[in-house]
Chains A and B, each alone.
Chain A
Amino acid sequence: MAKPIKIIQKTELTEEQKKMQSLENLLSGVAENKDSLLETLNLLQELHDSGIMDALGSLLKSKEKAAKIAVGQMTREPVTNMINNAMAAGGILTELDPNITSKLAKSLTNGLQKAQQGLVEDTKLGVFDLMKALKDPDINRVIGFGFNLLKGMGEGLKE
């Protein structure tokens, strides 16, 4: 006559058995990943020696708090302004023709070299020299560029 049974006797592993089981798992894992583990250990040592580990550890421990502070900082108006500026600047950059930008950058470098030369030579510039310079096609091109730039910006500001 089988009586109904409601009790299940779980095979409880002793603490010692559980530890042994964990250690066995761990050891086989270590053996399988020897090289990467050694490399990681070296890296950890470096991080520890430089004190970075310590800082990271503290930051992790206070991660909720730190995140709240960071987010709190970010909601301040100057910061959101900054983000907006950065994004707006990003927008400008994406609208420029890369060919023109590269031309401009090259000419700027060139100009800087010339300017450096001028500085070294320490030549004095008179009014007459200025008038003469205006006729120099290279300088004339730059001044024309500047005027057109100002005109374009002015139009932009009008919108």
Chain B
Amino acid sequence: MNEKVNVLINGTAHEVEKGTRILDYLLKQEMEHPHICYSEVLGPVQSCDTCMCEVNGSIMRACSTVVEEGMDILTSSELAKQAQEEAMDRILENHLLYCTVCDNNNGNCRVHNTAEMMGVEHQTRPHRSKGYEVDMTHPFYRYDPDQCILCGRCVETCQDLQVNETLTINWESGQPRVLWDGGKSINESSCVSCGQCVTVCPCNALMEKSMLGNAGFMSGISDDLLTPMIDIVKAVEPDYQTIFAVSEVEAAMRETRIEKTKTVCTFCGVGCSFEVWTKDREILKIEPSENAPVNSVSTCVKGKFGWDFVNSQERITSPLIRKGDVFVEASWDEALTLVAEKMGGIKETYGSDAIGFISSSKITNEENYLIQKMARQVFGTNNVDNCSRYCQSPASWGLQQTGGIGGDSGTIQDIAGAGLVMLVGCAPAEGHPVLATRIKRAQKLHGQKLITVDVRRHEMGDRADLFVRPKQGTDYVWLSAITKYMIDQGWHDAKFITEHVNHYDEFLEMMEPYSLEEAEKITGIAKETLIQMAEMIRDADGTVICWGMGVTQNIAGSHTSVAIANLLLATGNMMRPNAGAYPLRGHNNVQGAADMGTMPNIFPGYQSVTNIEFREKFEKAYGVNIPENPGLDNIEMLGAVDKGEMKAMYIAGEDMAWVDADSNHTQAMLAKLDFLVVQEIFLTTTAQFADVILPGAPSLEKDGTFTNTERRVQRLYQALQPLGDSKPDWWILMQLAKKLGFDWNYTHPSEIFDEMASLTPFFSQCNYDVLDGWNSFHWGSLDGSNTPLLFKDGFNFPDKKARFGLFDYVPPMEFPQEFDLALDNGRLLEHFHEGNLTQKSEGLNYKFPNVFVEVSPELANERGVKDGSLVRLVSPYGAIKLPVLVTDRVEGKTVYVPMHSSSHESAVNLLTGGAVDVVTHTPAYKQTKVRMEVLELNGENPLPRYNPRNATRTPQMGLEIYRKWERGDYEPISNINEHIEPGLYDRRNA
């Protein structure tokens, strides 16, 4: 119990926890008090001055004043009121109240609501223009200086929450305003379009362009009508309460036609949730909320602005059947009957195992559950897999071997709270942007240390306290060498190992060869650097290791994941907050797909199909016999197609043609099938091979749940009707099962979830009520309770002890000498996966139009290429051609190609292929070598000049409000103006 202090608030005695700020207490007690710039997330920004109180006779800010014993606080004394009104008057000098014709008049405008609550009737300082143009240059949002109240929430957010460090306010200027990179247009600045500044803007100064002229009943009228209307309001000078009354009627009218629906983002595994605002089918905007458990007000460019695909003209809106050289539209009955006949026939003729199912990491948990049920119950096969096979299976396997659960140890709060974060083979500022912001913030404000280990120096490499570039595919070696060195130095956690980990002696023996010298030889990392890394782990209060495809997409991916877990176990960085293992899941539901058992060897909840007890449970529930042997994984299925053993496949929401390695081979295999069903929203390359295409529905058009990288289950609610004759995927699966004699008869996804939970111990205490609204649930305990932090009561093995994994190093595969360049590949910020979704967005394509190959300055020099030169990359498996971008993000003979292409000219997986992870068969995408041929020397730079990578950031610590106070013309309202270091606020509350 924390210490309490006694204070008087408006004459009434209150007992308040020591260290609480006045405003926080007032808000918690639901005592109305004006405030504009304050935010729970940002802390006291101290710029708006509207929250003034009279404290012991002095004027003080409620947002930044901490309660003290015996304080006499008056929130609405004459003195306090006068101060608040003076502050609001200064704000309204900067902001014109044309609320009724403003697109931000939706009931949540802070300036409007605060002025109204204060009962403001008139202003003494008339509104005046700052004399700057509205900045409309950016594709997604605009800035109107004449409406900007200079509260600086956007600056604080950009500098210290998103930590992109683009926005500032030039306090010393005659007319301060918000600046991008010190005075560039928004479009040409380092802005990464995360949209958080727009989200936190308390008025209409920063607005989504999709809202402009769209949200209000009268906001769409043309300028030559609007301006005189605003002039009338000005000339008439009604008191503001009248304006507010009228605008509130209008806001209420808007509520009847604007739907606000909570959803969960689908562009990576972080699991951001937010409201989507829709008007009929139009998406007005994404509105994040401080209630969102993972991201709060944060988003990235895709989550905030990347939803155009939902209303794309290219959506498939009717079932399609292959007839000759075309797809012909068909009714659902026709299409499903055909699928049932053909697949039923193949099962009869060739047996259950001639059929394979590939599920999706984009569809819901409920739909994944149904796909494995379809395979096992309706078709009697375990041949079911999902796209985690292409990315994170090695990480899950590694963690299952060592701790018993294949998931992140804790939550994003643990990552933010760690003393040291190590990023290995992952680029979260590109691939998991909101998660990266929490690391950047902790590093900037709270002294968190960051080590980035990668062959490519991305943003997190630039920001790292220590950036390390190992030889490709050698991570196992340096991880083991550090572990061994720390044990040798006695820096390990001997007590933790004795109490909680098995196989220590065997582990020591296996580590024997991994001396620092040996590691330096194999990995290219200097011995001194390895020691420095070990020291940083030793000195940190909690080490978090995040890893991604740079580790898993190697032939030693599984074993390297084990090596990561071993290091964490040896140093006692498990079973505690702010530490642990965090494989960063790439898609919104890649964790959920595996959790739901769309894998050949497990039922939902990682219950092995070879375990007779589990199998009998599911056989009883499904009323059929289920084969006792694991089925085929993705890779094996294609092998079986090649051998003529697999005749039919059912692929849901996975563009396998481009996502699997060696695309030429994959596509040849798809062509070879007797019968292919593809459940999709677009005519992807995979779908082009189909015999029947069943049009599914994207996340905004259905109910369900997703599970993010933190093992956190969250609900998404239907925001739109399915387009045309498309249907939610769970409905499609249910109808097909019915055609094949299994009447599942669900009326809502919640019933599917309940069925799953009844068969799956991890989920036994979870249901749709638990997940209502912004609530969420972390699986991770066999009693089915909510488990944000894993292993608090022991590891998931019968003796509750973890196990050092005893799996040795597998060196990367060798290529013939002619292939002299190492091909790195992966994701960049602006696009998702092969681009089928995000390339439907005009704005995203504008910022990032085409893929390219990043070439180091040394290599460019050696080969005589420059920005825009057209080159061909050739691997043993295929060739692509694309323009060159010269950059020192890559070094020496490593080149990098983003994966965002589904073109036969430039898709990177035409080059990859061959090797797979020794355990899980995940393709070793990152172990590809190519040679480069120059086709044309001169060409256009593939990265537009207005891409943020071409700009330079303007970092500073938050808003720097003290610079406003230092202005000669600033007359203080508060008796105390004391600058609070950014970040002090949440550290205090941590």
Contacts and interface: CB of A to CB of B under 8 A. Distances in A.
Interface stretch (B4-12, B226-234, B408-416, B417-425): B226-234
A5 B327 contact: yes
A11 interface: yes
Interface stretch (B142-150, B176-184, B667-675, B788-796): B667-675
Contact of B225 (A6, A10, A67): A67
B160 interface: no
A11 B232 contact: no
Given A68-B224, A84-B237, A2 B322 contact: yes
A7 interface: yes
B691 interface: yes
Interface string A1-28: 1111111111100000000000000000
Contacts of B221: 67
A116 interface: no
Interface string B297-337: 00000000000000000001010101101111100000000
A8 B225 contact: no
Task: Give the interface residue-count category, chain A.
Answer: 20 to 34
A84 B688 contact: no
Given A10-B329, A68-B224, A68-B225, A4 B689 contact: yes
Nearest to B323: A9
Interface string B226-251: 00110110011110001000000000
A64 interface: yes
B320 A71 contact: no
B225 A9 contact: no
A24 B322 CA distance: 32
Contacts of A45: none
B228 A6 contact: no
A2 B232 contact: no
Nearest to A4: B688
Given A2-B671, A5-B325, A80 B224 contact: no
A87 interface: yes
Contacts of A72: 228
B329 A80 contact: no
A82 to B, nearest CB: 10
A89 interface: no
A67 B226 CA distance: 11
Contacts of B228: 68, 71-72, 74-75
A15 B667 CA distance: 40
A83 interface: yes
Given A2-B689, A2-B691, A4-B688, A9 B236 contact: no
Given A1-B672, A71-B229, A6 B237 contact: no
Contact of B671 (A3, A67, A68, A77): A3
A84 B326 contact: no
Interface residues of B, number: 35
Interface in A37-87: 64, 67-68, 71-72, 74-75, 77, 80, 83-84, 87
Contacts of B236: 80, 83-84, 87
Contacts of A2: 322, 670-673, 676, 689-691
B231 A75 contact: yes
B266 to A, nearest CB: 25
Contacts of A11: 318, 328-329
B887 interface: no
B326 A7 contact: yes
Nearest to A76: B235
Contacts of A74: 228, 232
A8 B683 contact: yes
B685 interface: yes
B326 A5 contact: yes
Nearest to B325: A5
B510 to A, nearest CB: 49
Nearest to A67: B225
B238 A87 contact: yes
A5 B322 contact: yes
A60 B327 CA distance: 46
A8 B689 contact: no
Nearest to A83: B236
Contacts of B238: 87
B676 to A, nearest CB: 7
Contacts of A80: 232, 235-236
Given A8-B320, A8-B327, A64-B225, A75 B232 contact: yes
Nearest to A6: B688
A77 B235 CA distance: 8
Nearest to A8: B327
B683 A6 contact: yes
A4 B685 contact: yes
A128 B66 CA distance: 81
Interface string B677-698: 0000001010011110000000
Contacts of B231: 75
Contacts of B222: 64
Contacts of B690: 2
A3 B676 CA distance: 12
Interface string B161-194: 0000000000000000000000000000000000
Nearest to B686: A4
B325 A7 contact: yes
B854 to A, nearest CB: 30
B671 A1 contact: yes
A9 B691 contact: no
Contacts of A75: 228, 231-232, 235
Nearest to B238: A87
A2 B231 CA distance: 67
Given A2-B673, A75-B235, A9 B326 contact: yes
A130 to B, nearest CB: 47
Nearest to A72: B228
Contacts of B225: 64, 67-68, 71
Interface in B245-271: none
Contacts of A4: 667, 671, 685, 688-689
A68 to B, nearest CB: 6
A113 B671 CA distance: 103
Given A72-B228, A75-B235, A80-B235, A9 B670 contact: no
Contacts of B676: 2
A67 B221 CA distance: 11
Contacts of B325: 3, 5, 7
B834 to A, nearest CB: 15
A71 B688 CA distance: 57
Nearest to A10: B329
A97 B671 CA distance: 88
B326 A8 contact: yes
A34 to B, nearest CB: 28
A7 B322 CA distance: 10
A86 to B, nearest CB: 10
Contacts of B327: 5, 7-9
Nearest to B672: A1
B232 A71 contact: yes
Given A1-B672, A2-B676, A71-B225, 19 more contacts: A2-B672, A2-B673, A2-B690, A3-B325, A4-B685, A5-B322, A6-B683, A7-B325, A8-B320, A8-B329, A11-B318, A67-B221, A71-B229, A71-B232, A72-B228, A75-B228, A75-B235, A80-B235, A87-B238
10 contacts: A1-B671, A2-B670, A2-B672, A4-B689, A9-B323, A9-B328, A11-B329, A71-B228, A74-B228, A74-B232
Can you list the 8 inter-chain pairs with the closest CB atoms, starting with the nearest? A4-B688, A80-B235, A11-B329, A9-B326, A7-B326, A8-B327, A71-B228, A2-B671
